[in-house]
């Protein structure tokens, strides 16, 4: 009679009435994936079933079938593919609806194979088209099920109608079927090629997203540390020289608090550009955190690395942010060359961190080399 009062006890113990955000997000992703699946299946069906009109029409001309069968053939060849597309794209589960459409294609194909008396050339074209579509959409399992439906429907239709089986094809039926047998696999392969290229491009974008910092475009911390470990192993193996730098933007929290986070973001981006302009193309720059960067300088001594940082200090001394001209950017830098007593790459990184701490403690806006 009365509405239930939500007190402290049942607020924390009652189950949520709405699905959580993760569940909704998963359902949305499944729906989008289903829509993409339907779009990929549209063109093979339209081209395949539409192309089969001509081999089937060639057989029907010789059979002298009633005009109603021509209407059925036209409807199946040119209306059904678009109806199936609309049905699947508007379904709550597009992928399941499209799989049902593919099975329906197999059933229709079985009926038409029986109607033409299993005429060998059009039958081969039809079985090839249905098999390619099923295999491409669902692999051997779906293809096997579709072929069973096709054969069962064909045998059932032959049994019901009593149509005689005529395996031979006339030259006309052969010439109408051969172009389809040649062109349809190439069309399907072209679609697969485009899909493969699109997936490869998506993979490259994901690789960039997994290795790069979204704001600055330099390497993120996780991937930069992988590169540092590889650099450490390579230098140890071949007795090479290399130096690591840790760079911190001085008073970054103050910039954020007084000028806003948008100015702080501009400061981070500006520092990135100055590092890229002052360092070599082969030097590996990574963003470690909010205001901290790291650099691997292969084949470079600590003194040369410190000299490169002096150029960055000089550039920043005269640089002003367009959004905050009163803000001057300064950096503290810790430099650590690889030495023989470092048994792990993290010891190398730790040495640079200690040098950075010394630079900050000494008053910031300076470069310190690890002892």
Query: Radius of gyration of the chain from Cα atoms?
Result: 34
* Assigned token pair, 194: 């485009």
Q: Quick check: is 10 in a domain?
A: no
* Assigned token pair, 78: 């040119």
Cα–Cα distance measured from residue 179 to residue 51, given in angstroms and rounded to the nearest whole number = 9
Q: Quick check: is 261 in a domain?
A: yes
* Assigned token pair, 129: 């088209």
Say whether both 177 and 233 belong to one domain: no
pLDDT tens string 44-94: 999 999 999 999 988 888 877 777 889 999 999 999 999 999 999 999 999
Angle at 13 between CA 9 and CA 15, to 5 degrees: 135
Give the mean model confidence (pLDDT) for residues 322-339: 91
> Band of the pLDDT at 268, cuts 50, 70, 90?
very high
Q: Are 309 and 283 in contact (CB under 8 A)?
A: no
Cα–Cα distance measured from residue 261 to residue 252, given in angstroms and rounded to the nearest whole number = 10
Task: Indicate if the pLDDT at residue 4 is higher than 70.
Answer: no
Alpha carbon separation from 293 to 164, 229, 272, 274 (Å, rounded): 80, 17, 9, 12
Say whether both 50 and 199 belong to one domain: yes
> Band of the pLDDT at 11, cuts 50, 70, 90?
very low
Q: Quick check: is 8 in a domain?
A: no
CA torsion sign for 272, 293, 219, 242 is positive
Q: Quick check: is 213 in a domain?
A: no
Say whether both 157 and 201 belong to one domain: yes
Predicted pLDDT of residue 346: 94
The residue out of 208, 235, 269 marking a domain boundary is 208
Give the mean model confidence (pLDDT) for residues 341-349: 93
b/e string for 135-173 if b means 16 or more Cβ within 10 A? bbbbeeebbebbbebbeebbeebbeeeeeeeeeebeeeb
Predicted pLDDT of residue 322: 84
* List of residues 6+ apart from 212 with CB closer than 8 A: 218, 219, 220, 223
Predicted pLDDT of residue 8: 41
Say whether both 104 and 179 belong to one domain: yes
Task: Indicate if the pLDDT at residue 166 is higher than 90.
Answer: no
b/e string for 262-292 if b means 16 or more Cβ within 10 A? ebbebbbebbbebbeebbeeebbbbbbeebb
* Axis crossing angle, helix 80-89 with helix 67-78, rounded to the nearest 10: 40
Q: Quick check: is 11 in a domain?
A: no
Predicted pLDDT of residue 9: 44
Predicted pLDDT of residue 20: 55
Q: Quick check: is 104 in a domain?
A: yes
The kind and range of the H/E element at 148 are helix 120-161
pLDDT tens string 289-315: 888 999 999 999 999 999 999 999 999
pLDDT tens string 318-327: 998 888 888 8
Give the mean model confidence (pLDDT) for residues 257-262: 87
Predicted pLDDT of residue 360: 92
Cα–Cα distance measured from residue 75 to residue 108, given in angstroms and rounded to the nearest whole number = 12
Task: Indicate if the pLDDT at residue 171 is higher than 60.
Answer: yes
Q: Quick check: is 12 in a domain?
A: no
The residue out of 208, 239, 268 marking a domain boundary is 208
If one counts every other C-beta atom within 10 angstroms of the C-beta of residue 126, the result is 27
Q: Quick check: is 281 in a domain?
A: yes
- Mean residue pLDDT of the chain comes to 88
Predicted pLDDT of residue 275: 94
Say whether both 199 and 235 belong to one domain: no
Say whether both 92 and 177 belong to one domain: yes
Higher pLDDT, 270 or 2: 270
Residues 137-142: contacts with CB within 8 Å, 24+ apart?
137/37, 137/40, 137/41, 137/98, 137/99, 137/102, 138/99, 138/102, 142/99, 142/102
Containing structural domain, residue 112: 18-208
> Band of the pLDDT at 24, cuts 50, 70, 90?
low
Predicted pLDDT of residue 80: 94
Cα–Cα distance measured from residue 328 to residue 319, given in angstroms and rounded to the nearest whole number = 7
Cα–Cα distance measured from residue 187 to residue 53, given in angstroms and rounded to the nearest whole number = 17
Q: What is the CATH number of the domain that holds 352?
A: 3.30.70.270
Lowest mean pLDDT among 15-24, 218-227, 229-238, 331-340: 15-24
The residue out of 189, 208, 227 marking a domain boundary is 208
Task: Indicate if the pLDDT at residue 201 is higher than 70.
Answer: yes
Say whether both 181 and 317 belong to one domain: no
Say whether both 45 and 78 belong to one domain: yes
Structural domains of the chain, count: 2
What whole-number percentage of the chain has pLDDT above 70?
93
């Amino acid at each position: 009679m009365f509405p239930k009062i939500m007190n402290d006890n049942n607020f924390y113990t009652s189950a949520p009435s709405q699905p959580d955000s993760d569940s909704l997000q998963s359902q949305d992703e499944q729906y989008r994936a289903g829509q993409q699946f339907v779009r990929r299946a549209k063109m093979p069906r339209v081209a395949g079933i539409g192309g089969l009109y001509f081999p089937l029409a060639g057989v029907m001309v010789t059979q002298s079938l009633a005009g109603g069968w021509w209407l059925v053939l036209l409807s199946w060849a040119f209306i059904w593919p678009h109806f199936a597309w609309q049905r699947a794209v508007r379904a709550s589960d597009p992928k399941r609806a499209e799989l049902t459409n593919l099975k329906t294609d197999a059933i229709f194909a079985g009926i038409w194979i029986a109607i033409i008396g299993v005429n060998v050339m059009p039958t081969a074209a039809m079985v090839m088209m249905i098999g390619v579509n099923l295999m491409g959409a669902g692999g051997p399992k779906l293809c096997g099920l579709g072929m069973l439906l096709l054969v069962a429907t064909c045998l059932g239709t032959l049994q019901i109608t009593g149509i005689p089986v005529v395996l031979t094809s006339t030259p006309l039926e052969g010439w109408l079927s051969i172009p389809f047998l040649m062109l349809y696999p190439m069309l399907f392969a072209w679609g697969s090629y485009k899909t493969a290229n699109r997936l490869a491009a998506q993979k490259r974008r994901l690789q960039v997203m997994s290795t790069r910092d979204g704001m600055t475009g330099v390497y993120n911390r996780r991937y930069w540390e992988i590169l540092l470990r590889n650099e450490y192993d390579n230098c140890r193996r071949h007795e090479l020289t290399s130096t690591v730098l840790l760079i911190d933007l001085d008073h970054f929290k103050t910039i954020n608090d007084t000028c806003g986070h948008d100015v702080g973001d501009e400061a981070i981006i500006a520092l990135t550009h100055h590092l890229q302009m002052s360092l070599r193309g082969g030097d590996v720059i990574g963003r470690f955190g909010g205001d901290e960067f790291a650099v691997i300088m292969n084949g470079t001594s600590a003194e040369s690395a410190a000299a490169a940082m002096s150029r960055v200090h000089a550039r920043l001394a005269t640089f002003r942010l367009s959004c905050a001209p009163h803000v001057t950017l300064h950096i503290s830098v810790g430099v650590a060359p690889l030495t023989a007593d470092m048994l792990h790459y993290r010891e190398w990184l730790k040495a640079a961190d200690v040098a950075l701490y010394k630079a900050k403690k000494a008053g910031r806006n300076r470069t310190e080399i690890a002892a």
